[in-house]
Amino acid sequence: MDCILVTGASGFVAKHVIGELQRAGYRVRGTVRNRTKIRSIQAAMDLLAPGTEDRLEIVEADLLDDAGWAHAMEDATAVMHVATVIVAEEPKDPATVIRPAVEGTERVLRFAHAEGIKRIIMTSSIATVGYGLGHEKGRRTYTETDFTDLTGMRRPWAYCIGKTRAEQAAWAFASGKGMQLTTIHPGAILGPASDPETSISLSLVGGLLDGSTPAMPRIGFAISDVRDVAAMHLAALEHPDSIGQRYLCTGPYQRFEDVAAILRQSYPDHPVTLKTVPDWLMRILGRLGGPVRQIINDIGNEKHFDGSKGERLLGRPYHTPEEAVLGAAESLLRFGLVKPKTAS
C-alpha cells in the first residue's frame, strides 16, 4: 500500500481527505503541530473510515520549523499539502497567516524533493483565482486560467496574500525541480463536521442557527462541500492527467440570504435572521478591521467560479449547496456546537 503524507491532519478538510485515502486503501501519515490533536483525528476516523486505525500514523511537524519533516516524508509516495492557518478576523500582524502559508509550503516541497517525492496535491483556494483583477462591481465568472493579482487588491487580506504567494511559490518550485503538482481550489467549505473540533468556515452556518449573526452582509460566495473537496484530492492523485493542473472545486453562487433561507426552512425553530447590512455600512466597518475586512473585496460584486473542470475530474456531480449547508447544520447540532435556541 502506498503511503500518502497529509499535512495539517487535524484540520476540517484534512480529516475528510484522510478518510477518503483510507477508504481507498492507502496508508496515511498525517502531520500535526501538537500531538494533543490525535484524539480528535481518531474520533473523525471512527466516523469516516472505521477499522483503518492500523493504516494511520500521526507525527509532529510544524510548518515554521524544519524539525520532523524529514521523518514525515520517509517512504511516502505523494504529499497532500492541506495545512493552512485560517483566522476568524483579519490579524493585526498579517505574518501570522502569511508566513505559515508561504514558508510552510516551501518547507513541505523542499523536504518532499529531498526525499525523492515528486507528486504533490495542494489545497489552494478561490482566493488565488478571483481577486485583484479589476472586478469591483457587477457579475463576473472566473476559471482556473485566472490568477489573483495582489497588486490590484482594493484592501489587503492576509489569507488571500498567503495563499496566493504560497501557490506561486509551489508552481515555481515544482517547475524548477521537476515535481508533479496539482492544486485544488475550494470556496466557502461547508458540509458535515467529522468531530467537535471543526472549522471556522462552519461558523457561517452556526452563527445563523444560534442567532449570533444578527444581520447578513449582502454578498454571496461559491459553496464547496468538504466531501467533494476531499474526493477531488483523491481523484487528482489517481488521475495522472491532473498533473500540472489547477481545479476549482466550487458549486453555484449562493447569497448569504440563500443560506439563511435553507436553514429557516429546515430549522424553523431557530432564530435565523432575515436582516441585511447595507454595502455602505460594510465598507465603513471594513476600514475598522475585524471579520468584515476579510470580505471587503467582495462588497458590491458577484464572483462566480466555474467548477465544471473539477467536476469532470471528480467524475460525479458536486453535492448541492443545500446538502452542504444542511450537512454542516446537522453536525453542528449533533456535536452540541450550536446552542438549541428557539425563535422568539
DSSP code string of 246-261: EEEE---EEEHHHHHH
Report the pLDDT value the prediction gives residue 135, as an integer from 0 to 100: 85
| Whether the predicted pLDDT of 279 surpasses 80 | no
211 assigned to some structural domain: no
Nearest to 57 by CA among 76, 77, 84: 76
Place of cell 458577484: 302
274 assigned to some structural domain: no
Report the pLDDT value the prediction gives residue 145, as an integer from 0 to 100: 98
Average pLDDT over residues 305-313: 98
Q: Alpha-carbon distance 52 to 19, whole Å?
A: 9
Q: Are 214 and 66 in contact (CB under 8 A)?
A: no
**SS3 assignment, position 51:** coil
Least confident of 133-137, 291-295, 326-330: 291-295
Q: Hey, which residues does 188 pair with through a beta bridge?
A: 223
Q: To the nearest whole percent, how much of the chain has pLDDT over 90? A: 81
Q: How does strand 253-255 pair with strand 220-225?
A: antiparallel
Q: pLDDT grade, residue 173 (50/70/90)?
A: very high
Split into its structural domains, the chain has a count of 1
227 assigned to some structural domain: yes
Report the pLDDT value the prediction gives residue 198, as an integer from 0 to 100: 83
Written as one letter, the residue type at 241 is D
Q: Alpha-carbon distance 331 to 329, whole Å?
A: 6
Least confident of 42-46, 48-52, 195-199, 281-285: 281-285
Report the pLDDT value the prediction gives residue 194, as an integer from 0 to 100: 94
Report the pLDDT value the prediction gives residue 292, as an integer from 0 to 100: 66
Report the pLDDT value the prediction gives residue 344, as an integer from 0 to 100: 46
Other beta carbons within 10 Å of 44 = 24
Q: Are 95 and 162 in contact (CB under 8 A)?
A: no
| Whether the predicted pLDDT of 340 surpasses 60 | no
Q: Are 248 and 144 in contact (CB under 8 A)?
A: yes
CA angle 66, 71, 73 (to 5 degrees): 95
Q: Are 327 and 257 in contact (CB under 8 A)?
A: no
pLDDT per residue as tens digits for the range 206-241? 999 999 999 999 889 999 999 999 999 999 999 999
136 assigned to some structural domain: yes
| Whether the predicted pLDDT of 341 surpasses 70 | no
| Whether the predicted pLDDT of 267 surpasses 80 | yes
Average pLDDT over residues 287-301: 72
Q: Burial level of 140, CB count in 10 A (0-12/13-18/19+)? A: middle
Least confident of 34-38, 186-190, 282-286, 296-300: 282-286
Least confident of 107-121, 164-178, 297-311: 297-311
Report the pLDDT value the prediction gives residue 343, as an integer from 0 to 100: 46
pLDDT per residue as tens digits for the range 77-87? 999 999 998 88
Q: Alpha-carbon distance 251 to 221, whole Å?
A: 9
Q: Alpha-carbon distance 189 to 228, whole Å?
A: 10
Average pLDDT over residues 280-308: 78
Report the pLDDT value the prediction gives residue 138, as an integer from 0 to 100: 86
Q: Are 246 and 183 in contact (CB under 8 A)?
A: yes
Q: Are 61 and 69 in contact (CB under 8 A)?
A: yes
Place of cell 452582509: 217
| Whether the predicted pLDDT of 330 surpasses 60 | yes
Q: Burial level of 223, CB count in 10 A (0-12/13-18/19+)? A: buried
| Whether the predicted pLDDT of 290 surpasses 70 | no
Average pLDDT over residues 173-187: 98
115 assigned to some structural domain: yes
Structural domain including 56 reads 3-192+222-252+304-318
Report the pLDDT value the prediction gives residue 289, as an integer from 0 to 100: 64
Q: Output the average pLDDT for the chain.
A: 93
**Widest CA span of the chain, in angstroms?**
61
Instruction: Give the CATH number, domain containing residue 14.
Output: 3.40.50.720
